[in-house]
Chains A and B, each alone.
Chain A
Amino acid sequence: MEGAGPLFQMEGISKSYGGVRALQDASLSIRAGTIHAILGENGAGKSTLIKVMAGVVSPDQGQMMLGGNPVQFASPAAAMEAGIACVVQELSLIPELSVADNVVISNPPQRFGLIDRTAQRRIAEQSLLRAGAGDVHPMALVKDLPLSRRQMVEIAKALTRKPRILILDEATSALTASDVSKVFEVLKRLRSEGLALLYISHRMNEIAELADECTVFRNGRNVASFPAGTKSDGEVVQLMIGREYQNVYPEKPTAQADAKPLLEVQNLSWANRLHDISFGVKPGEILGLGGLDGQGQRELLLALFGVLRGLEGEVKIEGKATKLDSPASARKKNVGMALIPEDRKTEGLMLPMSVRDNLSFASLDMLTVRGIVDKTKEAQSIDEMVKLLAIKTGALDSPVSSLSGGNQQKVVIAKWLMRHPRIILLNDPTRGIDVGTKQEIYLLMRRLADQGAAIVFYSTDYAELIGCCDRVLVMYNGAVETELLGDEITEHALISSALHIRPKENQPRERVSR
């Protein structure tokens, strides 16, 4: 297959959503038997590109060629028919159906017009095994599976279709490290079987390990294509953001102020998911939460914010035991807590509402007199926040859904900063946003800390933890595995404690190497 003409080609593809250009004259060419990585900031047009390829949206202009013949996809079903399968960021599994139902969903085996459940189960088991997810029971309901298992089922589902082109959009974002390596083996095997794979990821190391070719997208266009490994990470990032790559993390303070902890947690446990967690955060400190995804970090933040019921242990604010049983109680003046939630689209924002209404929504109690909104005060506060965070928005009255992902996230942060919180909890705030905005968020966090805020920062990106945090708690299985301080925060230390490997016992050289 190597050396043959491209299996799939698109040329001059453009797509606009209500005046906003998502793709502009984009082209791409993919060969069979290769893994082709697509890189780009968020909003660079990658998601739209995939949607066009998978028949989810139809392009305004341009043409696509599959195996030398022009194609047009009227629906996802049509694209599947042509042999394009997609593993997308937003999961496409049906929660109330079983794993087996889902795996065979687009083409279930039939007998006498009815679905043959025995055959379906056999196919599902094979596909699961092939995707490296043999541990998933085919009769389990998808909604009962943890996120990482669902993602594996998603891959199995795509494989069941026996595609010629497999698209993976951030397919590993929810996976545990051991799953990632399994998936990589699967992908490499598929490549050797002659499939064309389109791989989209924000993780440079994954791309370095997998890709044969890379294409960088910026502002809806493909700006460069090159064989993998011919450009350094710095050069690639420069292509992505179109400006000089620089050290993105702000300077850390050399010595910590000797203050009392503002937030203190003692022996916190919850429902078999959090075990005996104790720590404190001082004003001016950025405390990171590390570890593999799904080790209780999100639950810990929710617990602090009063969302979880049946907590054991104690939470102290300025040394005083405080009962937090709702976000309403956590945001009160004497506590002053804020949570930047995990999913900005469903938890942080009301997408159809205006930027203005979203910004003031969490501070209504401070902006009202006897329940009536003080318009002048509201406008002032909104102005202040828009300036502080440099939110790019044409009109404050347009719906927040019209903003880019990065600007949306800024609105979520701004709506909480309007309350001038003392304790700020951030749940993976940089996930899925562009490099530029990420950097602004890092700077902002440090500035808030310098102004005396205590910050708890969960990130799935180890580089961020290393770059931003004064201290990191690495979590494993709902408990704090290790505490890393200052210079101890290295990628090696983070990963080894995340994987539950005791450095002293298993990796004696670790200390030396640092």
Chain B
Amino acid sequence: MKDWQYRLAEHRGTLIALAIFIVMFAIYTANHPAGFTANVVQTAANKGALLAFVAIAQTLVVITAGIDLSVGMILLLTNCLASWVVVGSPMETAFGAVLVLLAGAACGALNGAIVIYGRLQPIVATIATGAVFYGVALLLRPFPGGSVNEDLADALTGKIFGVVPASLIVLLAVILLVWIPFSHSVYGRAAYAAGSSEPAAYISGMPIRRGKFLAYTLAGLVAAIGGLFLTFFSYTGEAAYASGNAYTLFSIAAVVLGGVSLFGGKGSAVGAVFGALAFRTIGDLLFVFDLDPLWQPLFQGLILLAAVSLGAFALFRVKNRLEWFL
């Protein structure tokens, strides 16, 4: 095999997710009454970016062979917090935003500490911390309310130069400033290695604990960016249990669509971002085809079921039945 073939194989999941997204988005804009305009792209980008942040967060944890079932609740918590602190003068707003990001990172770090140093299973640990985060969110906002610095909100959900959605720029910045450095660092590699084979990574003397801890912490941080954006869209904070769960579910769907292996060690946040955008577009397709909104949960569930079943087709090519059992 040639070098380029190896490179292609390495990025296959991401490219497939990109292709799915392009097809979906083409169908969407072709059927949208307004067509492919800056406004349609902006709306789509804003909704998509929100899920994309959560998907990046989920990817960070999933590559370590973990799972973060509390990611939606971190989103709620940071949303509720932002509706208190991201207000006032530019200085105050900036300080508030940093506080929100720190809170998210702290949530992620708590998850990481429990999973890595407490040696609890990620599924159970994050379901339990999810309850805690939801409780804190509820404490912050027993009822929907609050506000946010609207200048900042409008700037970050608007368009730059009247064309490019600002949310996409932020998304790109997160990938360039968080994901790329992490995945290319020694810690990122340790996180991948721990996800692929933890005993082997340990014997090889890799910093697996620090790598995993960093991954969980960054996941909390990125989820908090999502929480900030949620506040920018809604101008309020709301501790809605169902919505938190839905974001967790969608983040997993996005990760799966994005070619990230749930068994760990494989995949990229870039793929997950396209997965998120594609998943969001699927939801929007219902709108342009005039389906009753009541059908949306079922539709999303079926898409997720179909997406995870797609991977199963590889099974029919498995000729050695032992490969069924990892």
Contacts and interface: CB of A to CB of B under 8 A. Distances in A.
Q: Which of B200, B205, B207: most chain A CB closer than 10 A?
A: B205
Listed residue (A90, A115, A140, A326) with the most chain B CB atoms within 10 angstroms of its CB: A115
B193 interface: yes
Contacts of B186: 108, 110, 115
B106 interface: no
Cβ-closest 6 pairs across A and B: A77-B205, A96-B265, A96-B196, A139-B6, A92-B203, A114-B184
A108 B189 CA distance: 10
A18 interface: no
A180 B6 CA distance: 28
Contact of B205 (A75, A110, A113, A141): A75
Nearest to A142: B196
Nearest to B184: A114
A270 B193 contact: no
Contacts of B309: none
Interface string A55-95: 01000000000000000000111011000001010111111
A182 to B, nearest CB: 23
A270 B320 CA distance: 10
Given A90-B199, A139-B3, A307-B321, A80 B205 contact: yes
26 contacts: A76-B202, A77-B205, A77-B207, A86-B203, A90-B203, A92-B199, A92-B203, A93-B200, A94-B192, A95-B265, A96-B196, A101-B189, A102-B204, A105-B193, A106-B204, A106-B206, A113-B181, A114-B184, A115-B186, A137-B6, A139-B7, A271-B319, A302-B322, A307-B322, A309-B318, A310-B319
Taking residues whose C-beta sits less than 8 angstroms from the other chain, chain B's interface range is: 20 to 34
B205 A94 contact: no
B203 A270 contact: no
Given A97-B192, A114-B181, A307-B320, 19 more contacts: A54-B203, A76-B202, A79-B205, A92-B200, A94-B193, A95-B196, A96-B196, A97-B196, A98-B6, A102-B204, A105-B204, A106-B205, A110-B186, A113-B181, A115-B186, A270-B319, A299-B320, A309-B319, A310-B319
B interface secondary structure, majority: helix
Given A137-B1, A307-B321, A309-B318, A94 B6 contact: no
Contacts of A139: 3, 6-7, 10
A86 B202 CA distance: 13
B320 A302 contact: yes
Contacts of A94: 192-193, 196-197, 200-201, 204, 265
Nearest to A299: B320
A432 B319 CA distance: 29
Contacts of B181: 113-114
A308 B189 contact: no
Nearest to B203: A92
A88 B203 CA distance: 9
A157 B3 CA distance: 21
Contacts of B185: 113-115
B266 interface: yes
B211 interface: no
A102 B266 CA distance: 15
B9 to A, nearest CB: 8
A92 B204 contact: yes
Nearest to B7: A139
A76 B181 CA distance: 26
A309 B321 contact: yes
Q: Is the interface of A mostly helix, strand, loop or mixed?
A: loop
B108 interface: no
Interface in A251-287: 270-271
A416 B32 CA distance: 65
Contact of A105 (B206, B264, B265): B206
B185 to A, nearest CB: 6
A143 to B, nearest CB: 8
B318 A76 contact: no
B188 to A, nearest CB: 8
Contacts of A77: 205-207
Given A96-B196, A309-B318, A115 B189 contact: yes
Contacts of A96: 192, 195-197, 261, 264-266
A380 to B, nearest CB: 32
Contacts of A137: 1, 6
B196 A76 contact: no
Interface string B192-229: 11011101111111110000000000000000000000
Interface string B166-194: 00000000000000010011100100110
A308 B320 CA distance: 5
B265 A115 contact: no
Nearest to B321: A307
B266 to A, nearest CB: 5
B312 to A, nearest CB: 15
B301 to A, nearest CB: 30
A54 B202 CA distance: 12
A308 B319 contact: yes
Contacts of A92: 199-200, 203-204
